[in-house]
Structure 1
Amino acid sequence: MKVSLIMPSAYGMRGDVRATLSLASALAARHEVEVISVRRQKEKPFFPVGSDVAMRDVVDVRPGVRHLLPRGQVRTEVALWRMLRALKCDVLITTRPGLGVQAARHAPRELLKIAKVWSRPTVPGPVKRFYPRLNAVVTATETAQGEWARLLDGGPVVHCVQDALPAGPWPRSRMDNRIVAAGGRWVPAKAYDRLIRAFAIVAGKRPDWRLRLYGGGPEERRLRALVRELNLHNHVYFMGTTPDLAGEFAKASIVANTSFGEDQAMAVLEAMACGVPVVAFEGTKGPTEFVATGYNGVLVPESEADPGLFAAALLALIDDERRRRSLAAGARDTAMRHAPGEVAEQWEKLITDLRH
């Protein structure tokens, strides 16, 4: 069976990119798999890809690459349309609502077409119109499954298959470093400012603990200014981007997540795979799906104005090593459900059922 997975870019540092490449690598153990990147802006993907996975691009926008057509959205859309019309595979998996719409409109009718989705579309009209032409929609969480089922009422069946973590072995935290870590894109939705303000309280009471922030993005300047304002330069460290986030999380004893709203929570799952308990806010859809207070982490009541609640949750774990180790065991158990082989088997079963 040949499986094609198409994404806007396979070269970025996003949770959905990480999950898609992990799935592709897992499926490649038994099938012919290719990842199609609509845009290629770098020489190599940020995250590792299995050696058996074929990579190809629709438009190469790397500096110095010449094209017959001028750069722009029209060129990309024309190239995407041509690629989809000529696509030869058994199963096509799209990874964004817009790509699902294009696949429904232009991919050959005989292909099995599945839309993998993480968040609701910003413009639902085209999705409601064209998604009924697809064979199925797949979400990563049960909450998202319900939302998409309501959105596509009368459309294709919406299934839930959890995201795949990259293949192990995974490093394991010794739980003895006085480090709280967080990782992801530094954008407003991730609310790292909330974490920094909460950690200011922690640092005032436990000055021997440190906060390490991994990632990069447009919020960096504002976050650095906040650290200076709160005089936390000896407590909060900006560690930059790394393709080995798991290796860095394994150096921590707690991982924090302060995102607003929807969150793909891949960083949460990677932390759990390393045996690190997670502290997150209630109501954040991604973490709420995976974090269970008293089992693998702590969920804190949502509070935008008061960082004290989140700080209190961090301090409670900092002061209770026995509890941290107990939660770490639950975290690793949770991560096992996202092992790539197990997730690949769920996809194979879904594909088999859809083809019969």
Structure 2
Amino acid sequence: MNYFLVNNLGNKLTSIEKSVINRFKLFHSNKIDSHIITLSWNPHLHKHSKIFGINNNIFSMFDFFQEARHIHINTIKDWIEYWKCEQQYEIKYIPNTHDVRVFSNGTRIIYASFHDSEYKYLNYVNYFDSKGRKIKREHYDSRGFLSRIKYLTTKEKTVHESYLTPKGDVKLEVYYDPEAEKERITRIILNNFHNRDYTFDNKNELTAFFYENLYKDGDLFFSDKTGFTSPPFLLTDSKIPVISVLHSTHVKNNDDIEGSDTKNIYKSVFSNLNRFSGIIVSTKQQKMDIERLIHSSIPVFNIPVGYTEHSTLPNVQTLPEGPIKLMSIARYSPEKQLDHQIRLVSKLKEDFDQIELHLFGFGKEQKKLEDLVKTLNLEDNVKFRGFIPDLTSEMHSSHVSLITSNMEGFSLALLESLSNGLPAISYDIAYGPSELIINDKNGYLVPKNDEDKLYETVKTFLNNPELQKSFRSASIIEAQKYSQDEVIKKWHNLFNVIKS
């Protein structure tokens, strides 16, 4: 079995999670057994996994210990009936929500949040003491069972958590220091695991124990969210093979690849190379740079995080109708430098009657970016589209894809754009764009952070319809270098090297 390790899976995908899901689907279509594993407790994990079509092939470390990997709850308790009739409590419904307040003799004792308007599927339940202070919260798994109970101090700091099986047995207990400024675990107890109780000092120890008990001969682990998933392997038996997957540049200073320190999230790998069976990167150049850095002490594999699929492609000789549409697929975060794109549109607005920038993503920078849009009076030109799982139709209706990051790994979004006949204009940064964009053929590489050159390049491209058609055809042709067949060959090579 091949296990792909990430920290969590939400209802919106980061590039790492999308890459892992792509890999799973590639393996599945080629009949290579694999599962995705998350290390964080997440009561909505299985609801989210259904969105992306992987619900039967993903589980968390907590599912493993809570004996909840393969369950389906058919009977859901009627909580409203229970509180009103059996407990004789008073229910007050909160308008415009799925939440209720529960009172006993006029005193609020419970606040309950439901997933649905029928009040059947509980999300969480808060309990209050006689002074109205929250003292306990029960969290329910999206599959219907009580999964975690969190006990709080009067200042609402977590002091103890219990994790339960679907049958209601407490399997994990986590204790916290109530006086610490931030949550700090002081003890983890695993109850009745194979007829024994175990104690751990921290989550890394628990995770290492999980890895060792999951592993069987022939299994292979891929550490994707490296900062979270790799350190526990330093505590495991070295017979367990693990490969570190690097999804971004490995150095802090991208302008000095050879002289810069490695990023902190990769320290556990580069400081303990003998514990890892190999490293995977997405580009040829990064493979060469890392081989020089580690003196080829372990194998380094160049395997793209994405691949092209057979799909219905647009007529590349017909440009999209309507306003000129610039497309960006990136998190709303500082390293993506989306403010460069917004300022670009402010300039292009003077050259084109109708022009729009569509920003597909999510992140902490959204408010800051929205303020910039308002300052530049671009509310009609810049659209914050949020996270959309399938952007195929959006790509077919766009004129060009933009990348203004200060660094990238492979850029899965760039490959998807090109494979859909959408040319790209990007800053020339380490590592991915220069391997996917053939300058002046399917896009342009612009000197990093040169906003004036970016403007001139985009303006020239948009003013030349015949050039756009030529680039759209070339984009599809170049993307075929990353077909499923070509990428799976690289994976089979990795398996052969690791086995030998």
Fold shared per TM-score above 0.5:
yes
Bigger mean CA offset, 82-91 vs 289-298: 82-91
Bigger mean CA offset, 147-156 vs 233-242: 147-156
Please report how far the alpha carbon of residue 70 of structure 1 lies from its aligned counterpart in structure 2 after TM superposition.
Answer: 4.7
Match of 1:87 in 2: 214
Q: In 2, are the aligned partners of 1:15 and 1:264 still within 8 Å (CA)? A: no
In structure 2, the residue corresponding to 1:211 is in which secondary structure?
strand
Please report how far the alpha carbon of residue 202 of structure 1 lies from its aligned counterpart in structure 2 after TM superposition.
Answer: 0.8
Please report how far the alpha carbon of residue 198 of structure 1 lies from its aligned counterpart in structure 2 after TM superposition.
Answer: 0.9
Match of 2:298 in 1: 156
One-letter code aligned to 1:56: F
Please report how far the alpha carbon of residue 135 of structure 1 lies from its aligned counterpart in structure 2 after TM superposition.
Answer: 1.7
CA distance in 2, matches of 1:239, 1:197: 18
CA distance in 1, matches of 2:58, 2:18: 15
Please report how far the alpha carbon of residue 128 of structure 1 lies from its aligned counterpart in structure 2 after TM superposition.
Answer: 3.0
Q: How does 1:37-52 map to 2 (within 5 A)?
A: 37-41=38-42, 42=44, 43-45=47-49, 48-50=52-54
* Alpha-carbon spacing, 1:222–1:98, altered in 2? closer, same or farther (3 Å): closer
* Alpha-carbon spacing, 1:263–1:113, altered in 2? closer, same or farther (3 Å): closer
Please report how far the alpha carbon of residue 10 of structure 1 lies from its aligned counterpart in structure 2 after TM superposition.
Answer: 3.5
One-letter code aligned to 2:300: V
Match of 1:179 in 2: 325
Match of 1:146 in 2: 288
In structure 2, the residue corresponding to 1:44 is in which secondary structure?
helix
In structure 1, the residue corresponding to 2:289 is in which secondary structure?
helix
* Alpha-carbon spacing, 1:127–1:73, altered in 2? closer, same or farther (3 Å): farther
* Alpha-carbon spacing, 1:150–1:99, altered in 2? closer, same or farther (3 Å): farther
Q: Does 1:353 align with 2:494?
A: no
Q: In 2, are the aligned partners of 1:161 and 1:346 still within 8 Å (CA)? A: yes
In structure 1, the residue corresponding to 2:361 is in which secondary structure?
strand
One-letter code aligned to 2:489: E
Q: Which of structures 1 and 2 has the larger relative contact order (alpha carbons within 8 angstroms, sep 6+)?
A: 1
Match of 2:35 in 1: 34
Q: Does 1:97 align with 2:226?
A: yes
Match of 2:19 in 1: 19
Match of 1:57 in 2: 60
* Alpha-carbon spacing, 1:135–1:118, altered in 2? closer, same or farther (3 Å): same
Q: How does 1:214-293 map to 2 (within 5 A)?
A: 214-293=360-439
One-letter code aligned to 1:37: T
* Alpha-carbon spacing, 1:73–1:254, altered in 2? closer, same or farther (3 Å): farther
Match of 2:472 in 1: 328
Alignment deviations for residues 294-344 of structure 1 (CA, whole Å, 9 cap, x no partner): 22111112235xx32212111111111111111112211222222334322
One-letter code aligned to 1:252: S
Q: In 2, are the aligned partners of 1:23 and 1:340 still within 8 Å (CA)? A: no
CA distance in 2, matches of 1:230, 1:118: 34
One-letter code aligned to 2:59: R
One-letter code aligned to 1:69: V
Max radius of gyration: which structure?
A: 2
One-letter code aligned to 1:243: P
Match of 2:460 in 1: 316
One-letter code aligned to 2:174: L
Match of 1:165 in 2: 307
* Alpha-carbon spacing, 1:109–1:77, altered in 2? closer, same or farther (3 Å): closer
Bigger mean CA offset, 180-189 vs 328-337: 328-337
In structure 1, the residue corresponding to 2:398 is in which secondary structure?
coil
In structure 1, the residue corresponding to 2:406 is in which secondary structure?
coil
* Alpha-carbon spacing, 1:338–1:163, altered in 2? closer, same or farther (3 Å): farther
One-letter code aligned to 1:88: Y
Q: In 2, are the aligned partners of 1:175 and 1:276 still within 8 Å (CA)? A: no
Q: Which blocks of at least 5 consecutive residues in structure 2 are unaligned?
A: 64-122, 125-138, 140-146, 149-162, 164-172, 177-182, 186-201, 251-261
CA distance in 2, matches of 1:253, 1:115: 37
Q: How does 1:185-196 map to 2 (within 5 A)?
A: 185-196=331-342
One-letter code aligned to 1:151: L
Spell out structure 1 runs of 4+ moving beyond 4 A: 70-75
Q: In 1, are the aligned partners of 2:9 and 2:17 still within 8 Å (CA)? A: yes
* Alpha-carbon spacing, 1:202–1:125, altered in 2? closer, same or farther (3 Å): closer
* Alpha-carbon spacing, 1:293–1:125, altered in 2? closer, same or farther (3 Å): closer
Please report how far the alpha carbon of residue 108 of structure 1 lies from its aligned counterpart in structure 2 after TM superposition.
Answer: 4.6
One-letter code aligned to 2:7: P
Q: In 2, are the aligned partners of 1:184 and 1:215 still within 8 Å (CA)? A: yes
Q: Does 1:122 align with 2:263?
A: yes
Alignment deviations for residues 24-58 of structure 1 (CA, whole Å, 9 cap, x no partner): 1111231221111112544314972457x610112
Root mean square deviation, CA, Å? 2.6
Q: TM-score, normalised by structure 1?
A: 0.89
Please report how far the alpha carbon of residue 170 of structure 1 lies from its aligned counterpart in structure 2 after TM superposition.
Answer: 5.4
CA distance in 2, matches of 1:77, 1:296: 46
Please report how far the alpha carbon of residue 76 of structure 1 lies from its aligned counterpart in structure 2 after TM superposition.
Answer: 3.6
CA distance in 1, matches of 2:456, 2:389: 31
One-letter code aligned to 1:38: L
Comparing both structures, which one devotes a greater share of its residues to strand?
2
